[in-house]
């Protein structure tokens, strides 16, 4: 269901007897809750794309042991879970359990809500039954749900009104709020070379044709070498058009990569092609990878058609 636009409210920070966190890679937990139809599923997906271990419809009774698991796990450092009205009467235990959890793990409660009209419109579009029962009218179910969730809303750290937000705006808000600097460099980038003689790689996202550069193939001493050889590399980089191309491509990529990350892209393949895939494309792919690495991006290189 499309969530809507936000109004946010932050509460004063509560003292939490949490374990000391590593400044380099702290652990934390986000509990997503709120009204049915307010966008909890979309929010959970946004956290999952940020690298959070995501759990939907977590029983309240399992929250404390789950927090202990996250606090001591080697594999899970950040987790997000959804707790909502499907829990029924167990929701009464939420505030007290939250206090216990915060002694173990820094925890943020994110509460999503929307106007009555917006929620009714979303239920009308999806034709899904309200969790409180198929027999109840949606209007009455929503009113009852607000009443049941009010104690949780009062302990929420962040309240978002999604009435006029769409899915992408909610996602952008969550990424802006919860993305760490290190998360922004989590995009897996491959810088590969290829030869046009054998076609363009099918998995390429961005393709750059470097056949405009002088070809080392026509220099006898370079013919049997590759673009990874220092002599070939120095030859190609000696031309002003090579240096300008590398500067311009690097600048373009440094502009594009944050936008790809914001859109949730996890993998990006850069493909550099020359005639045979042995000299120019190899050298350029390696140099672009080095330049991006200097800016904190992880880049893998591969050379499809380079002679072994």
Check whether 110 has a pLDDT greater than 80: yes
* All structural domains of the chain with their residue ranges: 8-180, 184-303
Q: Please determine, for residue 24, whether its predicted confidence score (pLDDT) is greater than 80.
A: no
Against a cut of 0.85, is the pTM above it?
no
Predicted confidence (pLDDT) at residue 106 exceeds the cutoff of 60: yes
d(CA 92, CA 94) in angstroms, rounded, equals 6
For the stretch 113-162, pLDDT in tens is 988 888 888 777 655 666 666 545 777 778 888 888 888 899 999 999 99
CA-wise closest residue to 7 among 38, 32, 42? 38
Reply yes or no on whether the pLDDT at 248 is more than 90.
yes
Q: Cα–Cα distance between 161 and 174 in angstroms, integer?
A: 13
pLDDT at position 15: 40
Query: Looking up tokens 């966190």, which residue turns up?
Result: 21
pLDDT tens digit sequence for 275-286: 999 999 999 999
Neighbours of 172 (CB within 10 A): 15
What is the 8-class DSSP label of residue 196?
Answer: G
> What's the rounded mean pLDDT across residues 10-35?
59
Residues 50 and 186: their CA atoms lie apart, in Å, by 9
Q: Per CATH, which fold does 8-180 belong to?
A: Rossmann fold (3.40.50)
Confidence at residue 20, expressed as pLDDT on a 0 to 100 scale: 37
């Amino acid at each position: 269901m499309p969530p809507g636009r936000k109004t946010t409210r932050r509460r004063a920070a509560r003292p939490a007897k949490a374990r000391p966190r590593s400044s380099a890679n702290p652990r934390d937990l986000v509990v997503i809750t709120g009204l049915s139809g307010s966008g909890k599923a979309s929010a959970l997906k946004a956290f999952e794309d940020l690298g959070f271990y995501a759990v939907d419809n977590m029983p309240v009774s399992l929250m404390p042991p789950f927090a202990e698991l996250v606090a001591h796990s080697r594999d899970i450092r950040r987790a997000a879970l959804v707790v909502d009205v499907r829990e029924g009467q167990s929701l009464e235990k939420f505030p007290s359990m939250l206090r216990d959890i915060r002694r173990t793990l820094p925890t943020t409660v994110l509460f999503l809500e929307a106007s009555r009209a917006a929620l009714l419109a979303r239920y009308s579009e999806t034709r899904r039954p309200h969790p409180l029962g198929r027999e109840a009218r949606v209007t009455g179910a929503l009113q009852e749900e607000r009443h049941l969730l009010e104690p949780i809303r009062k302990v929420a750290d962040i309240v978002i009104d999604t009435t006029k937000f769409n899915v992408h705006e909610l996602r952008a808000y969550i990424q802006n709020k919860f993305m760490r600097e290190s998360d922004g460099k989590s995009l897996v980038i491959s810088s590969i070379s290829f030869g046009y003689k054998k076609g363009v790689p099918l998995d390429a996202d961005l393709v750059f044709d470097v056949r405009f550069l002088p070809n080392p193939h026509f220099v006898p001493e370079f013919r049997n070498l590759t673009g990874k050889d220092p002599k070939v590399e120095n030859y190609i980089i000696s031309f002003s058009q090579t240096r300008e191309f590398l500067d311009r491509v690097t600048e373009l990529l440094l502009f594009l990569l944050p936008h790809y990350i914001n859109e949730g892209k996890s993998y990006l393949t850069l493909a550099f092609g020359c005639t045979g895939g042995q000299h120019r494309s190899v050298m350029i792919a390696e140099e672009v990878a080095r330049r991006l690495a200097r800016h904190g991006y992880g880049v893998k290189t591969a050379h499809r058609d380079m002679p072994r």
